[in-house]
Structure 1
Amino acid sequence: MSWRKEDSPFSQLIFYKEGKRLLFVVDMQNDFVDNKRGLMAVPGGEEIVAGTLERIKKAEAAAETVVFTLNEHHELEEDLRSLEEKAWGHELYGPLKEALKGHVAVKKGYYAVHPDKLMEALKNAGKDHLSVDHIELVGVDTAVCVLSNAVVLRNLFPDAKIIIRTNLTRAKEDELGRKALDVMKGLSMVVL
């Protein structure tokens, strides 16, 4: 019988392989992060901004690919804001706007990126999208868009180690956030 890393009691530790690493930043836009003016703000979203900025810097230093989503939520009946205010809501939150400049942006509707759009964006950015073996997700909302994107990434990269950084994610509802993390664990993702 041969030894496999998966059989080790240390299998849940993060092993750094030779393949490509991806930091996936989910929906860190004004509407979801700004608790004063954001239309769909996630409580505590602002609290993860500093840590997310730090993680982006580490990714850059390690030459990891950084991808961020831009949720293009369409006209909502309850959204009575001016066009200028709506445009503000779609923008990246505060210092993330500058920090994510030059990284791979993927526009999406509600929930998750379309797999083809993600692969096309990586290819167009000149990123090696075929050998991704380590993905970390950060952002909001854990129970909706983080979960949905994690499932898409699991399907696109079935052999990749996928990590959800709980200190860098937030959910609108804590209980749903915990349940979403359990679902992600059930899909062989590492929840730290």
Structure 2
Amino acid sequence: MSDKKIIIDVVVDVQKDFITGALANEQAQANVVHLAKVAKAHAEAGHWMFFTRDTHEDNYLDTREGRHLPVEHCVEGEDGWNFAPELEDAMAATEPEVTHIVNKPTFGSYMLPSDILDELMAHNKAATDIEKFVIYGYCTDICVISNAMVLRAAFPETEIEIQSDCCAGVTPQSHQTALDAMRNCQFIIV
């Protein structure tokens, strides 16, 4: 067993609805191919890969979130819920040691830290074996920042990098605002 530290990528909500679907985003469309190449390169370099997937039921518009964001999206089982084909194609040829999908019903996944800890235990590892987290995906100003904060709370001593060129916010301004906020919270923005 290797004593090599683990790098964990958290690839946030790279789903059709955030790129070309219900919440289409030109910045996501412009960088999804680059994001997919980065994910593949990281997987091939031995990173553990955690993919979050925004997951709603068909009653989304009746939920608190749906009342504030009244655009039905990422309904489980519908096409917009699926990962982007660019990401699927890039990952199809890889065999990471760990690939884990986290379906999350809200912006930040409260289950993400426990899923990571479960994988660590399954591989006889501890949180101290994590070198860093690398986070990227969509949307910078909603789900990326939310999941980054969840991980910061659960792993306060672990470095967390935000791969900014593999993110897109609702607007370019909100993307930058989110990056600035994460920088202020001691995330490394690359």
Residues in 1 aligned to 2:185 and 2:38: alpha-carbon distance in whole angstroms: 24
Q: CA deviation at 1:21?
A: 0.4
Residues in 2 aligned to 1:58 and 1:40: alpha-carbon distance in whole angstroms: 27
TM (normalized to structure 2)? 0.78
Q: How many pairs align?
A: 170
Q: Is the 8 A contact 2:113 2:151 kept in 1?
A: no
The Cα offsets for residues 101-144 of structure 1, whole Å up to 9 and x where unpaired, read as 672101101211114x5423662584546222311111110000
Aligned to 1:108: 104
Q: Is 1:69 aligned to residue 65 of structure 2? A: no
Residues in 2 aligned to 1:133 and 1:123: alpha-carbon distance in whole angstroms: 17
Aligned to 1:55: 38
Q: Is the 8 A contact 1:106 1:121 kept in 2?
A: no
Aligned to 2:162: 164
Q: Structure 1: where are the runs of 5+ without partners? A: 1-16
SS in 2 for 1:44: helix
Aligned to 2:66: none
Q: Is the 8 A contact 1:43 1:172 kept in 2?
A: no
Q: Is 1:20 aligned to residue 10 of structure 2? A: no
- Read off the aligned partner of 1:150 and give its amino acid letter: A
Aligned to 1:123: 118
The Cα offsets for residues 15-46 of structure 1, whole Å up to 9 and x where unpaired, read as xx952101110000111112xxx112233212
Task: Determine which structure has more spread, i.e. the larger CA radius of gyration.
Answer: 1
- Read off the aligned partner of 1:31 and give its amino acid letter: D
- Read off the aligned partner of 2:32 and give its amino acid letter: V
Q: CA deviation at 1:65?
A: 0.3
Q: CA deviation at 1:184?
A: 0.3
- Read off the aligned partner of 1:178 and give its amino acid letter: Q
Residues in 2 aligned to 1:109 and 1:55: alpha-carbon distance in whole angstroms: 26
Q: Is the 8 A contact 1:106 1:118 kept in 2?
A: no
In structure 2, relative to structure 1, the CA distance for the partners of 1:89 and 1:129 (3 Å cut) is farther
The two structures, once aligned, show a CA RMSD in angstroms of 2.7
Q: CA deviation at 1:49?
A: 1.7
Q: In the TM superposition, what are the counterparts of 1:72-91 in structure 2 within 5 Å?
A: 72-74=55-57, 75-77=59-61, 87-91=78-82
Q: Is 1:97 aligned to residue 95 of structure 2? A: no
SS in 2 for 1:95: helix
The Cα offsets for residues 125-173 of structure 1, whole Å up to 9 and x where unpaired, read as 8454622231111111000000000101111211111111111100112
- Between Structure 1 and Structure 2, the one with more helix by share is 2
SS in 2 for 1:104: strand
Residues in 2 aligned to 1:67 and 1:43: alpha-carbon distance in whole angstroms: 24
**% identical equivalent positions:** 23
